A and B are shown apart, each in its own frame.
Chain A
Amino acid sequence: MEEATVIRTENVKKIYNAGKPDELTALHTISVDIDREKVTVLQGPSGSGKTSLLSLIGCMSRPTEGRIIVDGKDIVKLPERFLTNIRRRKFGFIFQQFHLIRNISVLENILLPLYPLDMGIGPMKERARAVLKKLRIEKKKNLKVKSLSGGEQQRVAIARALINEPEIIIADEPTAHLDRKLSEEFIDILISLQKEGKTIVIATHDPFVYAHQCVHKTISMQDGRIDKVTVR
């Protein structure tokens, strides 16, 4: 595998509820490469399988068949704690509905990914300070998330994704609940992250995102299959 590829999937299949009446094949034999330090978009309508593929790429679940290689290591057979270890060190996630814990403060939300890393309290606070400053939400750090606007919550979600200094950022439908202005702000942040050397993978059906000039590769999906792959 070339150094340029950070994640590769080989003939991965994902079946939910196998053997049950509601069995669903979300992915049919998918093979994709995610390029290092580039922006890759998984594009397709709802139900096309992009969220399932994103989940596999992000080490959040295991495929029913096939291999997934992250930084040269096949992760499919790894026990859950090793998968989790890779996920917490290499990946940062931005979810569709942000999925912040609304009744705790911004700072507490941001620090959550660091707790299992067993860092000292000083370094934890240092990182939090840096990331809050970068995303211009330091003044809101002690406010409860539920009292923030949509744009502020988006920045908290990004801050939480960056706190563990990941190499790879995964974003699932990040602009689904944002207006145009906030979507533009979001893309600007992603571009700056990519320039810092981070690999970005986004699942979206928003043309504003997948047609953006910062996108290096677009993988179009339909019904759990790859339709086409476009490289800029």
Chain B
Amino acid sequence: MAVKRFSVLDLLGLNLKEHDSLDLRCICGRRGLVREITIPDLNRPGLALSGFYDSFAYQRVQLFGRGEVAFLNKLVTEGKLETIEQMFTYPLPCCIFTHNLDPADEFSAIAENSGCAVLQTGLDSSEFSSRLLRILSNIFAPKISIHGVLVEVYGLGILILGDSGVGKSETALELIERGHRLVADDVVEISCVNGNILIGQGANKIIGHHMEIRGLGIINITQLYGVGSIRERKEVQLVATLEEWDANKVYDRLGTEKLTMDILGVQVPKIEIPVKPGRNVPIILETAAMNERLKSMGYFSAKEFNQNVLKWIESDAARAPYYGDDDSY
């Protein structure tokens, strides 16, 4: 699993990438920008400012709203700087002031000295908290990188898995040719958002949407098939494992079995597709995608079929007494 450090500078950098609208800027304590944010949560340091430091959640981002700033100003005018100084003895990741509020100069000086960054945002506290928490929870979401291909087929994200050389990339290429979309080839980075949604994307922007096809080499899908044939990220909704046809293995013939695969604790529906020359895997995947969508709409082909068979047998059994043994009517 990839563990990346996420510093205060990265938080500011999010603004530049237009990934969000935190509207953050650094007003002092630039040295502290390298400090790491380790917990996707924030703290309103009201109690701490009043001098109560038991269970002070110092590892979290400290958020100062109107109330805290008013209290800070009171402390400063009364000359009680010790509690503020005490707060900065903890290794705070950073302090953020909402409503474009400016901290008192004394506060800035103490922050600067302790090497803690002070940021400011124009948003109000509740809006900022919800945006920050959403962004942090995405960044701190559990991640895993999987060897496979992620494609979007009829709006469904299918993760194609299988051993090297079984034909994952070729299958994906055929799907793209048929108008579906490539999300990532070879290395798919999957993060679990919200505890139940798996979002897959390429591990790297630069090599994203390139594919390696045996005999062709590396090809650029965006250039070859246009931007319509790619996607940045997509939810993983179905896993398809390709494997060499094994005569001794029993494959699902009815489709009533429900196979799942555990990815980061989420159970994803799975299908196993045996591959051998002459089997058109892309068409099977297209059909699987449509079938999966039908299932999510409440129509389960295999079960429905079986219900009909049962009804038919029953009605035949009911008619039998009228016709006797002779069914030549």
Decide whether A and B assemble into one complex. Answer: no
Q: Which residues of B contact A (CB under 8 A)?
A: none
Q: Which residues of A contact B (CB under 8 A)?
A: none
